[in-house]
Amino acid sequence: MTLQKLKMDPKLKVSVEISREWEGKKVADELVGKINAKVLNPKFVLIFTTIHYKEEFKLILSGMKEAFPDAPLIGGTVAGFITQEGCYTRGVTVFALDYPNMDVAVGVGHNTKRNPKKAARDCAEMILEKLKDSKYENKFLVNLISAPIIPKLPLIGKVNNIKSKTLGILVSYIGMPLVSYMGSGIAKEVDILDQLAVSMPEFYIIGGSSVDDGKMLSNYQFIENSISTNSVVAIGCTIDRSISLKKTIAIHETNEKFKITNTTFDDRIVTKIENKPAKEYFFKKVLGLSEEQFKNLGPFYYKTSDYLPITFEENRERVLGVGCFFWENILLSHKSGGKHAILCSVTGKEVIDAIKSVFTAPDAKLPFLLAFSSAIFVFILGNKIFDIKKILDQEGEDMPYLMLQPIIENVRVPNQNPAVRAYSFNALSF
């Protein structure tokens, strides 16, 4: 069974547009013109841009708010996006929606790397306060969280492979907590999503981690005219339509299993695997590298690590990768999901099949699609990323869609566990 296209409700209007102009004012003017051709008075606007436009953010946002002063707006930087017009790793895209029977509110929480749960509570409280009198029962939330930022460490600068024992220990036990306090380092998306799920239990939640072009040096979040670098922004909506939130993941488990026996930094840094130094055990016993490959971990591993994620027997929805090496310690891309780890792998076919599955579900009836999908897929597929667009075009016919590429995705369906992970494809509609 393929996707059953719903006849678009004439009251529901969606506009997904892009601009590849360079000047901020021209970007805003082009986007506004395209939106107005389809949606005159959007109920909300989402705007996403690649990092190339960081000097133009203020002009872009001011132009959008001047044109749509009553439409709540959030957004930020992503690695790329796919629309009906094409696949892009440079440009600005918007998703504008109008529907009469809905209420909308935006929220923001700051200092996500220092105090993620407080940031999530602050964001949720702003939204819930504005929506407290809404009469509509169905609820969803779209969020964007500041992604990890590689910190600049005193004396050694920006590194992802520390070979010195002394420096490795210092960074693991002192450096990483310190840089989190200062606003860089890991993103703590798990803590943020867990708190959003507690604060907003009735909401369908979809989002991702705002990122640059993969260098992990900077990222930005937008709310109305404001620009942040260490925040969570979200838009919450109540509506009289049923909400569809599909979530899939593109990995398979291997037979390699291992026990994480010691961690630090709130289960984000692994120091021991099977009571052995973590890095050496992982590379020699789990991955089976030769001595020569082991001695050249940086050049070898970072070319292949996208194909070797990790999941956990205690929580198979948590999928993550290896971020950095601090002497014998391993920094995970986000918090561990348990002690019993399973090495996974991924193929291009699994990526394509995962996305196809959204359109073959028995109840797949989508008048539009707003999706968050791992930027890692771009690294894995290369030019075959256009195969994803073919799926969206063929299965969705003329359905407007926007597929965003953050670095980490998050998703939560009411009464189910929240999931922060890479290698996933999550799609919202109603």
CA angle 73, 210, 58 (to 5 degrees): 50
Radius of gyration of the chain (CA): 21
What separation in angstroms does the CA of 169 have from each of 104, 172, 270, 280, 323? 47, 5, 12, 16, 16
* Mean pLDDT of the residues in the chain: 90
- Higher-confidence residue of 326 and 117: namely 117
pLDDT grade, residue 2 (50/70/90)?
A: very low
Measure the N-to-C terminal CA separation of the chain; round to a whole number of Å.
Answer: 20
pLDDT at 47 over 60: yes
Convert the pLDDT of each residue in 52-97 to its tens digit. Answer: 999 999 999 999 999 999 999 999 999 999 999 999 999 999 999 9
The pLDDT assigned to 365 comes to: 59
DSSP 383: G
The pLDDT of residue 381 is 86
Q: Is 142's pLDDT higher than 60?
A: yes
CA distance 167 to 156: 9
- The fraction of the chain above a pLDDT of 90, given in percent, is 65
Instruction: Give the mean pLDDT of 421-428.
Output: 92
| pLDDT score recorded for residue 53 | 97
Q: Determine phi and psi for 19, rounding to 5 degrees.
A: -140, 140
- Using a cut of 0.85, tell me whether the model's pTM lies above it: yes
291: pLDDT confidence band, cut at 50, 70 and 90? low
pLDDT at 8 over 60: no
C-alpha angle 118/420/175, rounded to 5°? 60
- Rounded Cα distance, 182 and 199, in Å: 26
Q: What is the pLDDT, as a whole number, of residue 238? A: 98
Least confident of 47-56, 142-151, 381-390: 381-390
SS3 254: strand
Per-residue pLDDT, averaged over 230-240, amounts to: 97
- pLDDT attached to residue 5: 46
